[in-house]
Amino acid sequence: MIFRHVHDVTYRYFAEHVQRQWQNNAVPALYLFSKLRAPLAVRYIKPGAIVVPGLSDSHAHILEYGSTLQLPLEGTKTINETVARVRNYILSNADIRSDKSKFVLGGGWDHTSWPNGAWPTAADLDSDPVIHGRPVVLQSKDCHALWVSQRALDSSLPFPEEVDGGLIIRDDSGKPTGMLLDNAQELVNQPKLLEDDLLKRFNSAIQAAVRYGLTSIHDAGLDPVSLNLFKKEAGRRTLPIRIYGMSYFDENGEYWGNTTKPIIASGHERLTARSVKIFADGALRTGGAALYEPYADNPQTSGFMRLDKEVLFQYIPLFLRDGWQVNIHSIGDRANGIVLDAFQASLSGVNVTALRPRLEHAQIMTKSDMLRLGKLGVIASIQPTHAISDMLFAEDRLGPERVKNLYAFRTLIESGARITLGSDSPVEDLNPLAGFYAAISRLTPGGDSPHGPDGWFPEQRLTREEALRGMTIDPAYASFTESILGSLEVGKRADYVVLSQNIMTIPLNEILSTQVLATAVDGDLVYGTI
């Protein structure tokens, strides 16, 4: 039973009557209540199909995902194959092919899946005659590295010798190779995107989202341009889905927490922006996650923090004081320890339930920090598909003991932490069923893992109920909307999804074949039919 809203006793009576009828009916029925006193409409779903609350992605990057749809580079197995994909993109787009000054933008390449895991270079791009001389900027799969052509490199020089919280990869002679990590990415000069470009990315991403059954996305604020676009769209039309936007934090800018008002349920209750996103460290895939001990496969480094820890101790309490939720990107065990130190110092005497701070990723943590996370009441915003992507290289990178604390979802829950699930798209697949499958199986889509068919560290698997809660009521809580979203209850908004089969009971290997038959927001279908 789905309701746009249930406002009075009359509707409650009808709801109870409908429920009794549904329980006695062998064919599930979907009942849609419209406005007050409107006629009762009945819609039937196919036998075997089920209705679940609208699915939420607690950590994704909408415009970045839309960008990768234009020139997707994920899945390539070599540098040469990736270069060939860029060349074919240029040749198939007449406006770019005819103008060598136009920037070629794409993303999704993953050097860890290439032989020897070697970093690509500008020379690799310019070795192709079609690409040579063009400005090319390619974002990595984890969004923590840029691979650029020589022309894009030259237009951004000179570079400083070092970058705080970032790395310029250089050759033996000290020249930049065309690879820039984390904060060093900001050194690359790129054209300012026009609003039409941004809308094309936005619309592509949202169309994909509703096809996957997503009714809500928490946009994790990688690019400050994103939130400005969402505000404009919410002001001139009803957004197709709900967006919970995280405001970008610039440590070199002025503090804005006391001069900017949070946005709450704007644009027909489709846009909220009441949180700030802060980056603590880099990523495991690119070797930038801040660890206590050096990387097992690169003992010369233990990663790095993207900002000084004093910044965390200074700004977390300020944002909390001014009523902002604080969400911190933190991946390595050292980074997570530092962030929890800052949270612990900042949350003393604070109503944690009212502010709901979040640790975005929380990928590798010591057991003592997992316990501390639970005691502090900080939400762990995790991405299950990262686990099945990283399990192929994680032990080589971290060693056989430290890797046991990576993506330790069960340990987090048993430590008392509240979790919420996301994709980190475009880093991973936007499809929430991929995250559901990864959370409960810890297997590749083909059913494999380095530890066999029971999954990678199978003791860390989530139950199906935990995984579904992590995509429904838990993200609603993490975005302060559990009173109106996240479950199918009288009085809540009618955000729901119709799935072709029951993901709570079907065999594990059938989950990824489940189809989204319909997606509804506020009772209105935004995808599919019933």
Q: Can you give the pLDDT of all 530 residues of the chain as single tens digits?
A: 333 443 333 333 334 444 444 444 433 444 444 344 556 678 889 999 999 999 999 999 999 999 888 899 988 999 999 999 999 999 999 999 999 999 999 999 999 889 888 899 999 999 999 999 999 999 998 888 999 999 999 999 999 999 988 999 999 999 999 999 999 999 999 988 889 999 999 999 999 999 999 999 999 987 888 999 999 999 998 899 999 999 999 999 999 999 999 999 887 889 999 999 999 999 999 899 999 999 999 999 999 999 999 999 999 999 999 999 999 999 999 999 999 999 999 999 999 999 999 999 999 999 999 999 999 999 999 999 999 999 999 999 999 999 999 999 999 999 999 999 999 999 999 999 999 999 999 999 999 999 999 999 999 999 999 999 999 999 999 999 999 999 999 999 999 999 999 999 999 999 999 999 999 999 999 999 98
Annotated domain spans of the chain:
63-187
Which string of DSSP letters, residue by residue, matches 425-436? TTSS-S-HHHHH
In b/e form, how buried is each residue of 436-450, taking b as 16+ CB within 10 angstroms? Answer: bbbbbbbbbeeeebe
Alpha-carbon distance of 17 to 84, in angstroms, equals 61
* Residue 26: per-residue pLDDT: 37
Three-class secondary structure of residue 439 per DSSP: helix
* Residue 68: per-residue pLDDT: 87
**Span 63-187 CATH architecture:** Roll (3.10)
* Residue 504: per-residue pLDDT: 98
Alpha-carbon distance of 212 to 428, in angstroms, equals 14
Judge if the upstream peptide bond of residue 426 is cis by omega within 30 degrees of 0: yes
Element (H, E) at 316: helix 309-321
* Residue 40: per-residue pLDDT: 62
- Nearest C-alpha neighbor of 57 from the set 360, 418, 458: 360
Q: Which class for 357: exposed (0-12), middle (13-18), buried (19 or more C-beta within 10 A)?
A: buried
- Alpha carbons within 13 angstroms on the beta-carbon side of residue 225 total 13
Q: How far from 468 is each of 55, 434, 436, CA to CA, in Å? A: 8, 12, 7
- Nearest C-alpha neighbor of 216 from the set 456, 432, 452: 432
* 263-265 and 524-528 strand pairing: unpaired
Judge if the upstream peptide bond of residue 158 is cis by omega within 30 degrees of 0: yes
* Residue 9: per-residue pLDDT: 33
Helix axes 195-211, 224-236, angle to 10 degrees: 80
Residue 337 near residue 363 (C-beta atoms within 8 A): no
Three-class secondary structure of residue 77 per DSSP: coil
